[in-house]
Every structure is written in structure tokens, then in C-alpha cells.
Structure 1
Amino acid sequence: MSNNVLPRRDEIDNKFKWKLEDIYSNEGKWEEDYQAAKSAISEIEGYRDRLSSDAHELLEALNHYYETQRILERLFVYARMRKDEDNSNSKYQALSDRAQTLLVEFGSASSYIVPEILTIDEEVLKGWVKEDRGFDVYRQFLNEILREKAHVLSPEEEQILAMAGEVCDAPAQIFSMINDADIKFPHIKDEDGEEVELTKGRYIAFLESKDRRVREDAFRALYDTYGKQRNTLATTFVSNLKKDMFISNTRRYNSSLEAALSGDNVKVEVYDRLIETVEDNLGSMYRYLDLRKRALGLDELHMYDIYVPFVEDVDMKICYEEAKDMVAKALEPLGEKYIEILKEGFDAGWIDTYENIGKTSGAYSWGCYDTHPYVLMSYQDNLNSVFTLAHEMGHAMHSYHSNKNQPYPLAGYRIFVAEVASTLNEILLTHYLLDTIDDRATRAYIINNYLEGFKGTVFRQTMFAEFERIVHGEILAGTPLTCENLCSIYYDLNKKYHGDNIVIDKEIAMEWARIPHFYSSFYVYKYAIGFSAASTLAKGILDGKEGAVDQYIEFLSSGGSDYPVELLKRAGVDVSTPRPIDEAIDMFDKFVDELDLLI
């Protein structure tokens, strides 16, 4: 593909496009399903006030609910992915909007189901489930309802809480408007002395500049700009913390943290242990930063120096066909059957490979239960794209195995485990490349790529997680939080996580104000847990540990049939203990040792 002119969609060879026709062979079929879904949604109301009458009525209602949801998923996935092919296509903009509207209607029409199930005597419900095998596919759904029963309110209170939804979303919406629409950054001079407007999109590119003056100017300009909005941003963020406390108190949880973890049935101790274990191993982070300082030849390492590459980029031109072969060979430790399915995915219309005008940027894996999974990416002929291909096919293979082996109600896996399969693929690719490449510069590049990913995913996300735990704890304790408090807490955490051998510039104290994930409270810890779990699983597979591959494939095949911690435990990794994090950091340390010898 030419890199000079971005092609139109119709200029790309079909062999590099995904086959959405595997979902709907034509849009007439989509319209038929749309009408069927509308009718099914209207019929849901007919089950109201009947669910507690007998087992047959409840089972029939659940069957209808999930069958309707399955059609809606198919409608929405197709429409949205068609739109992602070319976002300027008004036909698919409209199709996507129609599917989205139908989903909202479905949510509203079926909102009575859980509260009504909770009116059934628990022993009676358990008896129905035990006596009728038809409930087997709904066992996890019903167990989850019963587990959370203490936190479900009366129908009237639930309605009030639902009505407050838009108000509760206000802090996140206000932050988004400030951060994505209203905030304006100044111009800075680039490497050539040209005035260039600083944007969030350009910020990381500036921090990766070899010109230290550019890095420093971008760093100070960004945080000075956020600093001018400090009081508004602090008030918005604290309002979000108070919103979380209001909801957790209303639902009778002990804390916002407990409420956030409850959906995955994760104990607060798991969250705390992650932070504790990473803190015990911060010496590894300090050693890596010291290596960076020496490699860059700096007397002082500043916060604006921690993203600039200190290993030279390697000019590896890797075409897409080579990339597929490279990924397949890297994943051979997962077994012949895995590779057979992987290669089928490469050649059977799973992947939308190249960028075109209007195509959604970035990469993702998605799909619906009734067809194979799909991958969207914008392949460039470089090593980063090879890693992206391995990563997204990890997600795709997870979905493939889950959908193949689980009934629809149990197939969907949770975010908690979603990054395990993709990260494991990247780790296997890293080891394969290091086993097959002797070139010193290339080895250094590959190792540094892994270390940077680890630093950003494990150390940085855990620092974020600790910040969230502290500030939510302050709100729970009734401590007033101001911008000064928030900055002080965040600055001290940066000192702790980066060590004494780096200058913690005062501007970094405002970084909390630009992190969107803080408005999805207690979410980021999952990244660190997932990376650590993937490291342990990959080590067992690479070491030839007996049963490791079979356990991993079983994990991929389990979907949402159990809670994430239990699924990972059966795969051979217990994330409720420090072991996965310790083992991941051991691998990190070994790579730091090798990189130190290479540069």
C-alpha cells in the first residue's frame, strides 16, 4: 500500500477487508432482524408481573430476553462496524443510530426483570433452577442477582436512582467538555523552530522528541494550561468522587471501592495487595529509570524525559504477509489447533487491514456471537503493527473460543480478563523475536518496547490505582479535598513511584486533572492485574509446564461462565496472591539486565 496518498475504501483489495457479509449477506436481512427485534421488545412488557408465578414463566421470559438481546447485538455490531469502515458514510451513520436507539428501548422495556426476580423467595428460586435444566445457561446470571441482592433497592428507589442517572453522569460530561472541547493549549516551537500548536494528540510526540527543549516546553505548556483551570477541574473531579460515594452509600456498600469491585466479585484485598506488591518492588522501576538516565547521557532525569526513546528505532520493513507468518510462528507454543484457527482468521475475512479515507483510527477486536470475531487495524509495514496484529488476534481468539464453547448467556467475558489473551500474545511474540534475532540494536529495541509497555501498564496504572484509593478514602472520611490537596497527594505518589534519582517537576502535580479514567472509578487496576496474569501464564507455557496450554485454552473457552478471579485460578494463576505480580516483575528485571548489556 502507498503511504503517500490515503486510499478510498473501494481502492483497497477485498482480501484486506473484513467480511461483514458473514453477519448479514445483505441489508434486507438487517431490516428483517430490525423489525423482529422491535416486535420482540414490545413483547417483553407481556411478562411483567408474571415472573414470580412459576418456573415456566420465568424461564420463558429469560429465553425471550436473551434471544432479543442476541438479535440486537447482531444489528448493532454490523451497523457500527459498517460505519467504522468509513465514518463519512451517512447511510451507516443512520443505521448505527437506529440500532443504538433500539438498544435503549430494550433496556427501558426490560428494566423490571431484575427487581421482579428479586421478589421471588430465594429458596423457591433455587429450587426452580435445580429442578429445570433449562435454567442451566442462566445459573450465573441468577447467582449474580442473588449475590447482589443486598445492594438492590426497592422498585421505587431504583426508579429514583435511575432518574438521577444523568445528574450522576454530569461530572464526567463536564470534564469531557473541558478536556475535549474548551481547553486550548499554546503554540510551542518544534525542532525546526517553527511555531506549532500544542494539542493532546501531539503531546506525546513532543515528549518523544530528541530535542530536550521541545520536550520541556511541551511539558510545561500542557500543565500550565491545565493549571489555569485548576479550581474548575478540582471541583468537577471531587463532584465525581462524591457521586460515587452517594451511590455506594445508597446501595449499602462500605465504600466506593467495594462498590466498584463488586461487579467482578473481587475482594478489596486484591486491590490492596496489587498496590502493596508493586510498592515492594519499586526498586525495579528505579533501576530502569536509572538505565534510561545513563542511556540518555543526562545529569538529571526530569519527568519530561521519561518517554523519549533511548533505544534507536530499527528500520524493519515487515509487509502484512510476513507479519501474519511471524505472529503464527510466535504463537506456536499454544498448540496446532490454536494456530489452525488463527490462520483461518488471517485468511477468512476476520481482519480489516489497511487505513482508508474515513476509517475509524486505532485498532480493536469485536463481533457478535453468531459469527467469527473481527479485527480492525491500520497496518503499517513496521514492527509496532506486528505487535498490534498479535494483540488484537489475542482478543479475537478469546472471543472465538468463548463463543464456540459457551451458550450465548455465558459467552461474554468481563473487562477484568479481556487484556490477558492479548497481552499474552505480545509476550510470546517478544520471546519469539528475541529467540530468532541476533542483531544487537534490534534486540535492544524489542526489549525496550516490552519494558515501556510494562512501565506504563503495571507501575503507572498501579500509581493511578493508589491515587484513586487515597482520594476516595478522603471523601469517605469527610476530609475536604481542594486542588492543593489533590496536587499534593499526586506529587507525593510520583516521588514514591519514580524514586530519588529523578527530578519530580512541580508541574506533574496537575496530571491527575487530565486522566479520563479517573471518571470511571477503580478501573485502571485491571490493566496491571491483567498484564501480570498474562506474564505468569506465558511463563508457564514457554517453560513447557505440564497442562499449561490446556488450562489456558480452557480459560479462553470459559467466557463469562464464572467470575474473573476463579477463571484465572483455573488457568493456573491466582491473582488474589502476590505471585503473578512478583513473577511479572522478575521478567521485567531480567529484561532490564539484558538491555543494560546491549546499550
Structure 2
Amino acid sequence: MTNTKQRPLRSEVPEEQKWDLRAIFQSRDEWEKELTAIQGDTSTVTKFKGKLDENAKTLLDCLEAKEQLLQRLNLVTMYANLRQAMDNTDATRQKDSQRASQTDASVKASLAFVEAETISLPEETLDRFMEEEKELQSFRKYLRDLQARKPYTLTEETEETLAALGSLFNAPYTIYNRGKLSDMEFEPFADEEGNEVPLSFGAYASNFSTSPSKTVRRNAYKAFNKGLERYKHTFAATYATQVNHEVTTARLRGYDSATDMLLQGQRVTDEMYHNQLDVIQQELAPHMRKYAELKRRVLGLETMTFADLKAPLDPDFEIEMDFEEAADTVEKALDIMGADYSDMIKTAIAEGWVDYADNVGKSTGASCSSPYGAHPYVMMTWPGTMRGAFTLAHELGHGGHFYFAEKNQRMTNARPSRYFIEAPSTMNEMLLGNYLLSNTDDKRKRRWLILQLLGTYYHNFVTHLLEGEYQRRIYATAEKGEPLTASVFSEVTQQVLKDFWGDAVEIDEGAGLVWMHQPHYYMGLYPYTYSAGLTVSTIASKAIFDEGQPAVERWLDVLKTGGTLDPLELIKKAGIDMSEPKPIRRAVAHVGSLIDELAESYD
């Protein structure tokens, strides 16, 4: 019988399931004081306005003062956002998050002159300044990136105005999340016994879409899409605002397209971007169609519908696991990364870095936030099964990445391109999967573990990759000046899905609403980077399994490098060249081999 237990309020959640935000601020009152103090401390930076061309020491002092202020600002905004993520229904937390966002925009507007004046400096002047002040060389990558933006920079007054409007430009993302997490309601659906089951966005994504019951999956899917239908025009207007803002900004700045502008921010070439989308879709589709057909046959389905894609292939086999057991398993699996990495993982578990409760108003999904000057924070909802161990390992991969980057780099240099962001997280999933597979001789458990790894590839190489293809088509539509409406978004989504799945999966109108599922569309060209990261971790993890310590040291060195290199050069440190499609093809072939082994186990 389906579990209909209501989710608790945040105040009812046991303390051991919550994270401890005191590493950022001891209390909300302390946060409030710092919020006010930051607004009054912008003069520590603005006093340098109009003076950055005077000498190297002035430029260095200004950049360091700006970095220090932004570090404090990051802690203030992160604290407010993390508190809201735990309960989006709490009015005080909503207000605090808005206040932090407004302060963020205001402070950054007052600091916009720094980049404008620095960009205007001749390259030879910057070279001379870095020779005169050796400490300036720690800002070399940042300064070079600014120079690359020179052709696309507007006047100082315009840049300050745009920075001041930052919270308004972020409004589509805020509106989407507020609508999804606070306002959106769904009608209950009937399970196989006729019981009414309450439905929420989070419950559908984490429970009902993966139910072993065909009735539950399909009824929940219909009810979920019926709910989405009621909001699609509002959400479409919100997303259209996001896209049109990016297209307009790109034109004003002189870029050929919004895609070019967004890729420059990631320091990724057009070739790297299109390779990722094209190669995976073309070469993975046959493997995934085979996988879909295998599921249809094994589950005894007459038709494989979109609602069935996440159905468990072995529904009677599940490994129940509480959080403590999963944490212990993850710790053992990641021992291969060495003492420093293992100590970080143990500390994260023991000292409240992870919030795994399920309560009313909590943001859906899983994420990791890494405020510079504190430590990483992982948010997830514990599912009660071993699958949660993979999620935990994934998010701690993000945490470990920034933990080591921030220990070895100043804040300005800590974060690499988004293109690389998902590599450390999926690396941990690969390590966990290999550890579990190497410690079992049970055929059925091995098959289940292969399914978990295929879940990782499905998430990154299918779900997010197809979101990336959807984005590519939507930006192309917007660049032509064509209107962006709910029907356009749904039609493009359906066509992307049909192109990939062919006749193996029935793509209905409800599948066309997938564009409403994720906030990633509001974060630039984010979705495709999931597949880039998993490509890298697939190849790098194989090197660790084959070579051992030398490959581990290369990987840890990459993590510590932070954002001091462009992604292509950063990944080359791990022995992988992403300027060509070969690594992508190797990763896709690996997925094919997993599917082949899975299919053989059912013959």
C-alpha cells in the first residue's frame, strides 16, 4: 500500500537530520548585523574609484579590498538562501533572502567600476603592473579574463546600471522557484488499490516517477502534468523573459549570439559545446533505445511510455539503507582518494554539513553550496535506500572539490568553469559504484548496482543532455525574433525527446512539459555541462582504477587548481583532451557496455 504519511514541518524535524549553519553565522541576529555592516563598508573599495590606472599598488589594494568585501557578501547571501531552502513557506526566510539579494545587487553595482576601469587598462600596463607588484600575479587569470571581455564591455555608467538591476534580472529564477515550491498544488491520484495519494512536485520526482507500480507511475504522471498545465503560461512568460533578457544583453554587448556570450563566461569553445551535444545524442541514442526496449520487455509493458522510463527494472529488489549506513559506505568507497580527502568526508558527516530531512517547504532535489570562508553544505532528502548513497557521494564530490580549491586558492581563483563543475561529483559516484561492485559476488545485486550507475548516466547523459539540446533550439528560435510561448516550449521539448528516443518510447503531450521541471534553464548553459563533467569523470575514474595512486594525485591536483586555468587546460592536467570528441565517444561506449551486460543478465 502506498505510504501517505504527511511531511513534517521544519520545526518538527530531528536536529540530527539538519545541517548546522553556525559555521557561517552563529545566529540570525549576527547575520543581520553583518548585512547592515556590509552596506556601510563599500567605501573600502569605492575609495579607489578613478585611481586604478595610477600604479600597481593601488590596483592590488583595490582588488584585495573588493575580494574581502565579496567574501563577506557571499556569506551573507549564502546564509539567507540556505535558510530559505529549508522552508520556502516561511515568510521571514523569504524576506531575508530578498533582502540579501537586494544587498548583493546594490553592493555589486557600487563595485562595478573595478571591472570597468580594469578592463580599460592597456594590456601592456597590466603586464608592467604585475612585474612591479608580484602579488598581483595571483590575480593574473582574473585580469586576463577581463581583457577577453573588453570588446563586449559597455560604458562604466551602463555597467553600473546593469549591476544595480541584478536582482531584477534574477527575478525569473526567483519566480520559478517560488511558484514551484510555494504555490504549485496538485490533485491527488489513485494508487492500484484505489486509495487517494497526495502529490507534490518533490514527491513525484523522488518517489512516484520511479514507483514499481505501473498504476502509480502513470496515474501520478497524469496528475502531475494536469497540475503543470495550470501553470504553464505563467511559467512560459517567466522563462521567455529569461531567454529574451540574455539574447538582448548579448546583442547590446556585441556578441554574435546569447550562446556565444554564455560560453565565453564558461571559457568554452563552440566546438567543445556542440561536440558534447551532438556526439552523445547521435551515439548514445541507439544504446538507450535498447535499454528502453529491455525495460519494456522485462516489465511486461505493452508500450514503453515516457512515464515508465524511470521504472525500476528489478522492482522486487531494493537495498534499504539508513543515512548512517550510507555515510559509512561512502566513506569506505572514497578511501581510495587518500587521507586528506577521507578526513574531509568524515568531518562532513560528523559536523552537520548535510541536511537530509524531508519537510514541508524544503527545496526539492539535492545540491551542495560552498561558501568561501566556511565549509560546504549538502542538501538532500533521504530516500531510505542505497540510491541515496549515490546522491550523498555526488554532493560530497562537489563539497570536496571546493573544500580543496578554497584551501589552495584565493576566492577570486577558487571556482573553475561550470563546464568542469559536475566532474568531481560524478567521479564520486563512479568510485562508489566500483567499490560496491568489487565487494559483491551476488548476480542480482551486481545487476542492481549496474542499474544505479546507469541511473547516473541517464541523469547526466539523457535528462540534462536533452535539456541542453532543448536550450540550443530555444536560443536559436529566440535569436530569430520568433515569439516564445508555452506551446513553443512544449513543441520543442517533444521534438527533442522524439528525435532521441525514436519509436522506442511513446512521447505524449505531457512529456512536452519537461521544460517546467528544472530550474537549470535559468542558470545559463548549465544542463549540457552535466554530460561534460560525467565524460571527464568516466575517463578519469577508469585511470584511477587502472593506475592507482598516480591518477589519484593527478585528480587531487586538478581539484586544488580551482579556477586558475581554463577548463580545457584544467582537464588536460587529468590526462584528458576535451578539444576532440574521442573522450565523449569512450564514455558513451562505456554506457553501451553497461547496457549490454545488463541485457545479458536477463537472457
Distance 1:198 1:114, change over 3 A: same
Verify: 1:539 aligned to 2:533, yes or no. no
Q: Return the offset for 1:429.
A: 0.6
Number of residue pairs matched? 595
Q: Which residue number corresponds to residue 271 of structure 1?
A: 273
SS at match of 2:243: helix
* Residue range with higher mean Cα deviation, 70-79 or 306-315: 70-79
Verify: 1:259 aligned to 2:287, yes or no. no
Verify: 1:244 aligned to 2:246, yes or no. yes
Partners of 1:515 and 1:100 lie apart in 2 by: 21
Distance 1:21 1:493, change over 3 A: closer
Q: Return the offset for 1:502.
A: 2.6
Selected match of 2:450 from 433, 447, 450: 447
Verify: 1:46 aligned to 2:54, yes or no. no
Distance 1:587 1:366, change over 3 A: same
Deviation digits for residues 4-61 of structure 1 (CA, Å, limit 9, x no counterpart)? 99698799577x7766555567889768866764553233222211222222222111
Partners of 1:506 and 1:84 lie apart in 2 by: 31
Taking the TM superposition and a 5 Å limit, the aligned residue runs for 1:170-569 are 185-196=186-197, 198-204=199-205, 205-223=207-225, 226=228, 237-281=239-283, 282-312=285-315, 314-347=317-350, 349=351, 351-352=353-354, 355=357, 360=362, 363-377=366-380, 379=382, 382-479=385-482, 486-512=489-515, 514-544=517-547, 547-569=550-572
Verify: 1:597 aligned to 2:603, yes or no. no
Deviation digits for residues 331-351 of structure 1 (CA, Å, limit 9, x no counterpart)? 23323443344334444x253
* Residue range with higher mean Cα deviation, 562-571 or 349-358: 349-358
- Decide whether the 8 Å contact of 2:9 with 2:360 is kept in 1: no
* Residue range with higher mean Cα deviation, 17-26 or 512-521: 17-26
Deviation digits for residues 470-528 of structure 1 (CA, Å, limit 9, x no counterpart)? 23223323455666555443333222211223323244334335554334342211111
Partners of 2:247 and 2:95 lie apart in 1 by: 38
Q: Return the offset for 1:571.
A: 1.6
Verify: 1:583 aligned to 2:566, yes or no. no
Partners of 2:558 and 2:231 lie apart in 1 by: 46
Q: Return the offset for 1:265.
A: 1.1
* Residue range with higher mean Cα deviation, 468-477 or 525-534: 468-477
Distance 1:23 1:203, change over 3 A: closer
Q: Which residue number corresponds to residue 60 of structure 2?
A: 59
Deviation digits for residues 398-440 of structure 1 (CA, Å, limit 9, x no counterpart)? 1221122222321234433222111111111111111112223
Distance 1:413 1:313, change over 3 A: farther
Letter of the structure 2 residue corresponding to residue 280 of structure 1: Q
Partners of 1:421 and 1:467 lie apart in 2 by: 25
Partners of 1:491 and 1:32 lie apart in 2 by: 50
- Decide whether the 8 Å contact of 2:182 with 2:361 is kept in 1: no
Partners of 1:294 and 1:311 lie apart in 2 by: 12
Letter of the structure 1 residue corresponding to residue 590 of structure 2: M
SS at match of 1:365: strand
Letter of the structure 2 residue corresponding to residue 351 of structure 1: W
Partners of 2:487 and 2:13 lie apart in 1 by: 55
Q: Return the offset for 1:566.
A: 2.1
Partners of 2:84 and 2:164 lie apart in 1 by: 31
Q: Return the offset for 1:248.
A: 1.0
Letter of the structure 1 residue corresponding to residue 209 of structure 2: L
Deviation digits for residues 559-581 of structure 1 (CA, Å, limit 9, x no counterpart)? 11122232112122223322232
Letter of the structure 1 residue corresponding to residue 297 of structure 2: R
Deviation digits for residues 217-276 of structure 1 (CA, Å, limit 9, x no counterpart)? 443444455556666665654454333221111111111111111101111111111122
Partners of 1:156 and 1:504 lie apart in 2 by: 50
Letter of the structure 1 residue corresponding to residue 415 of structure 2: G
Taking the TM superposition and a 5 Å limit, the aligned residue runs for 1:90-101 are none
- Decide whether the 8 Å contact of 1:23 with 1:74 is kept in 2: yes
- Decide whether the 8 Å contact of 1:129 with 1:135 is kept in 2: yes
- Decide whether the 8 Å contact of 1:494 with 1:504 is kept in 2: yes
* Residue range with higher mean Cα deviation, 577-586 or 431-440: 577-586
Partners of 2:218 and 2:260 lie apart in 1 by: 40
Distance 1:428 1:341, change over 3 A: same
Q: When the two structures are superposed, what TM-score results if normalisation uses the length of structure 1? A: 0.86
Letter of the structure 2 residue corresponding to residue 331 of structure 1: L
SS at match of 1:581: helix
RMSD over aligned CA atoms reads 3.7
Deviation digits for residues 382-411 of structure 1 (CA, Å, limit 9, x no counterpart)? 312322332222222212211222223212
Verify: 1:142 aligned to 2:143, yes or no. yes
Q: Which residue number corresponds to residue 114 of structure 1?
A: 115
Gaps of 5+ in 1: none
Partners of 2:310 and 2:197 lie apart in 1 by: 20
Distance 1:180 1:404, change over 3 A: closer
Deviation digits for residues 64-114 of structure 1 (CA, Å, limit 9, x no counterpart)? 111222233344545665777788999988877775555344223212211
Partners of 2:299 and 2:397 lie apart in 1 by: 34
